[in-house]
Structure 1
Amino acid sequence: MVQRGKRIWFDLPGVLTAVLLTVSFLFPVQSVYATEEPMAPVSTAPFVLQRTNTHLPGEAAKLDGQLSKSGIQKLLDEANRTAIPDCNSAALTNVSGVIDRWCFNSGDNNTEEWYPQGITGTGDAQDDDLWGSKRAILVSWYHKSKGVRVSFLDPATGKYRHVLLVEPYTNSYGNPSYRAVKIHAGGIVWYGNYLYVVDTTKGFRVFDMRYVFDLGASSNGNTSNKDLIGRHNGIYYGHGYRYVMAQVGAWTVPGQQTGSSCEPDGPPRFSFVGLDRSTVPDSLITGEYCNPPNPENDPALYGRMARWPLDASTGELKTSADGRVYASEAYRVPKAHAQGALALNGTWYLMTSAGSTNNGKLYKSKPGGTPTYRTAGIGPEDLYYWPAKNELWTLTEYPGKRVLYSVRP
């Protein structure tokens, strides 16, 4: 090279190299792994759900006679925590094209007791008449003993509040009570009045936005004791949280996997869930997180994704004549360690992770096609599409590296 004044002049090969490096830096190439697998179809035969826990609506109704209820609008108005907009997060190292981002407050960002997993929002719910005019992003967290909480974040204000998910039951004294929901909650979708939460080896737990109870506004509620949950001596507790949301149903696969590795042809796992409103009818997309011993050599063990029909008139899964729900299509996951998926206008999106120090990848593919990918955050999880903004949202899970962020599809 030759330096002239403050400009540096390169010979032609050097110019080409510099230009290519610059273009690659500014516009990351949609690369493909050498061992990439196409989205091959698989049998839908194992993908069957049946309704269970049919007693839960009655149990939730009993709680309605004991506790004050809260609408989602009121819950957002009274949010008590503040998220940080446009925050800097180590989880976004090497990630380009970020449109929006939010970090939790320091306590939620750093805690090792609760881990964020699933994401949904009013973009999934859509119907303003059901919940109010505010917009919200919802995030599920799991705790080994306290169960699952869901954060309701108002992106207009940055305020958010946690709501504890509970399973109602009648205690030994004949009084309505509730217990913790001890599942991983790896994915969530808000559809109509219902919050669908995946239960890894079983299917879905279903919660009702109309049964959000406010312990702070109830004369028999306690919001200070972080150890107790349910009814004790006539007082209702929620591990210190003000709001609890009741489960009203479940959908379960007839058989369940029992091992730590995914079975390529057995009953499906439910590691995450996303919504597709571009189909008729609307549909849920579920998939399996699998960790095969040789992930680059065992594509049959990467896991599977499936599509489940929804009934927009009821907000429930669409049943066949026999009362069961059958997946309309299923595919092999193109890479192991899947954490989230959804579909939009015939294109499927899949998020994969690579541990607490490496970036994940966001894949994009048509069925039968070879996926391409873009770099995702460190520790990425579930996926959520916000139609009004045309944005794909995800979140990252590791302490100190937790951020909600969006990119274009």
Structure 2
Amino acid sequence: MTTSQPALPRRAVWVAALAAAVLALPVFAAPARAAAPGDPATASAFDLTSGPDLSGHVAALKAALPTQGVQDLLDQGNRVAKTGASCSTDPFGTGDDGSVLRPAKKICWDAGDSDTREWIPQGLTGVSDAQADELWGTRKPLVASWYDKASTTLCSADPDTCYDKGVRLSFLDPETAVAGSPESRRYRHVLLVEPYYNSYGNVSYKAIDIHAGGLAWYKYYLYVADTMNGLRVFDMRSILDLNRDQDASVDDTTLDGLKSNVRDASRIGRQNNVYYSHTYRYVMPQVASYKFVAPQGNSPSAVTCVATGAPKASYISVDRSNTAAPSLVMGEYCDSDDTHVEKGRVGALPVDDATGLLKATSGVVRATQAFHLPRDLTQGAARYNGVYYFNRSWTDHSGSLRRATVTDGRLVDYGNNITNAVGPEDLYFEHGQGVAGGGTQYLWSLTEHRSDSTVATCNDAGSPCGRVLYAHRVGDVLALP
């Protein structure tokens, strides 16, 4: 026998029905908060996978052209930089706000490189990135990158600038003086190239048309930022010499019995059984690359950035402070004007200390950390012992050096703004822990703007332009409020 339940009052029935209807409605999450400056970013956006292996191409080129070591290249430097009182270029001035952190070291390029409109300096690294003892043999080289800003205006004035030569490197030892000239330092340019097999099945190479905004050197490998794609990789053991007899007027006979020519600015690679190099004695072929796994949402023509997908690889550096787990730090340049709030991101990728290559897991280099940048207009980043250093610049005004630390899970500004040079670019941290131990740490950078009489602020005492390599003592930087 069943027992019937007592009937509910009419009001109770109505309330129960309403409650059931409400519970049956779909549940919507609260709108997600947009990422704020300094917030954690999606680390997987920085993940990379290997591109085509070009080592076979490079081996074929090395069988055709002789190689040159970095120390010999430095010894045979054909350009002279100046230091000390001989380096009069001063992009620091007094600063826009009347104060500026002046560098502990400063190096001036030779006149041709200081004034060229064709080549623009961008990236910087050095042997302190590459080696724990901070020595390459007996030398302490810096390496800077320049991109070719080919233009119709330049071409009409100088036919040799009509050809987009891509990217070149400058190898310079800041500590080894020219004999009899204590304030002089020799340096040499090397053209970066991408190897390929031409339609005849012969190995050749072409110029690399990228911005090269950042450099990082670890063991034998040189990493070059490829803005929209990731990284290109070069090998210091594979610098090819097209003019070994140092007589440019006569074509050299190559190892494979052909010729090499360093006089014709219009040609690159193997053409009609002659190797060309846009007149550069040395070329350095790409051996590998790393590509972003995530789709690229940024536009090559835009200086603003998106907050999702792959970042731009605008600058890179090496963090050696954790010797058990070195990292490559990568970040993006973004102009967050009044209509755009995304300031860019910075991430860290693991380096395999045994090989010098990035450390992959199941074929993917997985980023270990990423943050939205605290500030926009960031041109360079370095990290050491948990402190981030950022170079910021805007047109031809005084730049700024910022510091930041990870606090409560966010990347936040540490201390005040430090007024810096006009046009500061990539950053390189000299860790000072080499063979002598306990040495001075330096934060190196370089400036991009040539002195230009047509730009009023370039000649202003508070905000002058000019191209130099320079270094601040890290202790001086950290001591500032």
The reply to whether residue 292 of structure 1 matches residue 336 of structure 2 is: yes
CA distance in 1, matches of 2:136, 2:335: 39
CA distance in 2, matches of 1:74, 1:365: 40
Q: How does the TM-score come out when normalised to structure 1? A: 0.87
> Corresponding residue for 2:413?
370
Choose the corresponding residue for 2:367, options 317, 322, 327. 327
SS in 2 for 1:274: strand
Q: How does the TM-score come out when normalised to structure 2? A: 0.74
> Corresponding residue for 2:141?
136
SS in 2 for 1:292: coil
- 8 Å CA contact 1:97–1:408 kept in 2: the answer is no
Choose the corresponding residue for 2:120, options 99, 111, 115. 115
Q: Mean alpha-carbon deviation: is it higher for 269-278 or for 224-233?
A: 224-233
CA distance in 1, matches of 2:241, 2:262: 9
Instruction: Describe how 1:44-59 pairs up with structure 2 within 5 A.
Output: 44-54=43-53, 56-59=54-57
- 8 Å CA contact 2:316–2:328 kept in 1: the answer is yes
Choose the corresponding residue for 1:304, options 336, 345, 349. 345
SS in 2 for 1:63: helix
* Closer, same or farther: CA 128–371 of 1 in aligned 2, 3 Å: closer
> Corresponding residue for 2:29?
none
SS in 2 for 1:83: strand
Aligned amino acid, residue 314 of structure 1: T
- 8 Å CA contact 2:92–2:102 kept in 1: the answer is no
CA distance in 2, matches of 1:173, 1:194: 30
Choose the corresponding residue for 1:182, options 200, 205, 209. 209
Choose the corresponding residue for 1:393, options 423, 444, 451. 444
> Corresponding residue for 2:282?
243
> Corresponding residue for 1:89?
89
Aligned amino acid, residue 128 of structure 2: G
CA distance in 2, matches of 1:378, 1:141: 17
Aligned amino acid, residue 194 of structure 1: Y
> Corresponding residue for 1:124?
129
CA distance in 2, matches of 1:345, 1:376: 22
The reply to whether residue 281 of structure 1 matches residue 325 of structure 2 is: yes
> Corresponding residue for 1:63?
61
Aligned amino acid, residue 405 of structure 1: Y
User: Deviation of residue 127 (structure 1)?
Assistant: 5.8
CA distance in 1, matches of 2:83, 2:195: 36
CA distance in 2, matches of 1:187, 1:302: 18
- 8 Å CA contact 2:106–2:470 kept in 1: the answer is yes
- 8 Å CA contact 2:52–2:289 kept in 1: the answer is yes
SS in 2 for 1:76: helix
Larger radius of gyration: 2
Structure 1 runs of 4+ with >4 Å offset: 127-131
> Corresponding residue for 2:461?
none
> Corresponding residue for 1:403?
468
User: Deviation of residue 75 (structure 1)?
Assistant: 0.4
Instruction: Provide the identity percentage.
Output: 43
CA distance in 2, matches of 1:130, 1:347: 25
* Closer, same or farther: CA 318–103 of 1 in aligned 2, 3 Å: same
The reply to whether residue 313 of structure 1 matches residue 354 of structure 2 is: yes
- 8 Å CA contact 2:298–2:306 kept in 1: the answer is no
Gaps in structure 1 of 5+ consecutive residues: 1-36
CA distance in 2, matches of 1:384, 1:370: 20
- 8 Å CA contact 1:130–1:192 kept in 2: the answer is no
Aligned amino acid, residue 72 of structure 2: K
> What does the per-residue CA deviation read over 1:285-333, in whole Å, with 9 as the maximum and x for residues that have no partner?
1101011332xx754x10000000000100000111x210111000111
User: Deviation of residue 128 (structure 1)?
Assistant: 6.8
CA distance in 2, matches of 1:333, 1:227: 42
Instruction: Describe how 1:134-283 pairs up with structure 2 within 5 A.
Output: 134-144=139-149, 145-155=164-174, 156-157=176-177, 158-217=185-244, 218-219=252-253, 220-254=259-293, 255-259=295-299, 260=302, 261-279=304-322, 280-283=324-327
* Closer, same or farther: CA 130–51 of 1 in aligned 2, 3 Å: farther
- 8 Å CA contact 1:38–1:370 kept in 2: the answer is no
User: Deviation of residue 222 (structure 1)?
Assistant: 1.3
CA distance in 2, matches of 1:143, 1:407: 28
User: Deviation of residue 258 (structure 1)?
Assistant: 4.2
Aligned amino acid, residue 41 of structure 1: P
- 8 Å CA contact 1:71–1:131 kept in 2: the answer is no
Q: CA RMSD of the aligned region, Å?
A: 1.6
> Corresponding residue for 1:74?
72
CA distance in 2, matches of 1:291, 1:127: 36
- 8 Å CA contact 1:67–1:215 kept in 2: the answer is yes
User: Deviation of residue 92 (structure 1)?
Assistant: 1.5
CA distance in 1, matches of 2:71, 2:44: 41
Gaps in structure 2 of 5+ consecutive residues: 1-35, 95-99, 150-163, 178-184, 245-251, 254-258, 433-439, 452-465, 475-481
CA distance in 2, matches of 1:132, 1:225: 34
**Aligned pairs, number:** 367
* Closer, same or farther: CA 355–240 of 1 in aligned 2, 3 Å: same
CA distance in 2, matches of 1:85, 1:257: 43
CA distance in 2, matches of 1:83, 1:257: 41
User: Deviation of residue 241 (structure 1)?
Assistant: 0.6
> Corresponding residue for 2:14?
none
